[in-house]
Amino acid sequence: MFHLVQSLYDSWNAREEYSVLILGLDNAGKTTLLEEVKSQYITSYKKLPPSRILPTMGQNVATIKVNKVNLKFWDVGGQDTLRELWDEYYEKAHAIVFVIDSCDKDRLVECSNALTKIVTNDLAEGLPILMLANKQDLDSPDKMELADIKEIFNPIAANLNARDSRVLPVSAITGDGVKDSIDWLHVRLIRNKANRPPKFRMLSVASTVQQFRSLFIQTQETPNENALKFIPNGATILPSPKTPTVEIDGIKDALQKSELAFKLLSINNKCISSILLGYGFMTVVKKTAREMGNGKVEEWSVLKPQIFSILTEHLTMGRPILTEKYYDYLADKLAAQKQKEVDDEAAIEEEEIEGEEDAEDEVENLIQELLTTRIQPAIQEDGGDIKFIKYDADSGTVYLKLIGACKSCSSSEVTLKNGIEEMLKYYIDEVKAVKQVIEDASSSDAQPPQQQHQEPPSKHDEYDEVPPTL
């Protein structure tokens, strides 16, 4: 009976939720548009003045309620280096809003190419696309009228097959056209629900009173008593599962990489040693008695409320996690990684045809594959991560760097030797030893963490014996 009642309660209180991507070139007005949407649909929200709105360096997320359904907007950075990340969002999206700067004729071809790339992506198939001609309120000699913009973008929309699309005028500053845009989206999302079913978000009493996106942060203990893992349900820390984890050691490092980390590293007499940012988690490592100097180590009972407060405020306000400079660095790395994977696959095919292959490269590829597919997931579950530094073919030694909760953990050497080393030696005969690389915090300030590589699946997938586990 209880389960029946629970099921009925869930069905009565579940609300459909649709994810809408806000895309477009940088400076098109995407974030300003989202601020205006929030101010019109969230009663208690006070929008930021235009002078305080910064270019999106990662993603801004906000949820509004429209006729008993939730629309969850994802404002994603539009800089050239960040557009490679758009592909990561299409699969779970329900619609796309593409914002066009009506007063920027010089970038019209670039804008058209970006939209074409979206509509021809297989992952975006079946998504309604709303093209918004923004800045229609401006009195500029360069402003293009709606008819001119339609003439340019309607041929692209013609490639959308049966997918809904439309071009509408809007002003993110004055709010003109915002309601018409949301109404159009709402109708198309409902119409397209058979093709892209919505998620169902459970309602609580609090969420019916306050229309902010609910954010629940849970903590998870790690093998390191000085490290705690924070997992925000309903939000992500880094923009993509493929984005490598980011370690921040010290205030100087935080200034280069993350405003959020800077805030956390500044609390309680700077008692936080380092921060590790992952896609769905954040690990906070506090200083030991020796690092504090005075022998006093802050208790988690004191630190957790402050960390909760800072993290919750940062995420609910849609503040960027990473600085623009460091985000550009990661985006460049991700683009280079994708290109490397393509080049590697082509090289492997060519080597197979010619019957030649560099043995050292093959070993290094196998090492990185094992780290990515078998070792990293287990270590990240414990709030840490591992970075591949290099492989010395002469000695058969693999050099790795442990970060996050693993770095100062008393059992890290055991994990390295009994877990990682044994697994690598079991699968790869050429590996003879694994050594940990320990770097000073100053070195990480000067050099961003090394990018991890994801290689094509190995041919060695099946084994007769049971392999070691972490």
Binding residues: 24-31, 56, 78, 134-137
Structure tokens at 377: 């997931």
352 CB burial (10 A radius; 0-12, 13-18, 19+): exposed
342 CB burial (10 A radius; 0-12, 13-18, 19+): exposed
Q: Which residues are annotated as a binding site for Mg(2+)?
A: 31, 56
Please state the separation of Cα 206 from the chain's center in Å. 28
Q: How many CB atoms lie within 10 A of CB 140?
A: 12
Q: In sequence order, which residues have a C-beta less than 8 Å from that of residue 450 and are 6 or more positions away?
A: 387, 388, 389, 401
Pick the closest to residue 76 from 96, 91, 94 (CA basis): 96
Pick the closest to residue 23 from 73, 92, 81 (CA basis): 73
Q: Which residues are annotated as a binding site for GTP?
A: 24-31, 78, 134-137
Distance CA 380, CA 229 (A): 10
Q: What is the torsional sign of CA 440, 444, 446, 450?
A: positive
Say how many residues make up the chain: 470
Pick the closest to residue 239 from 293, 186, 182, 278 (CA basis): 278
φ, ψ (nearest 5 deg) of residue 433:
-160, 160
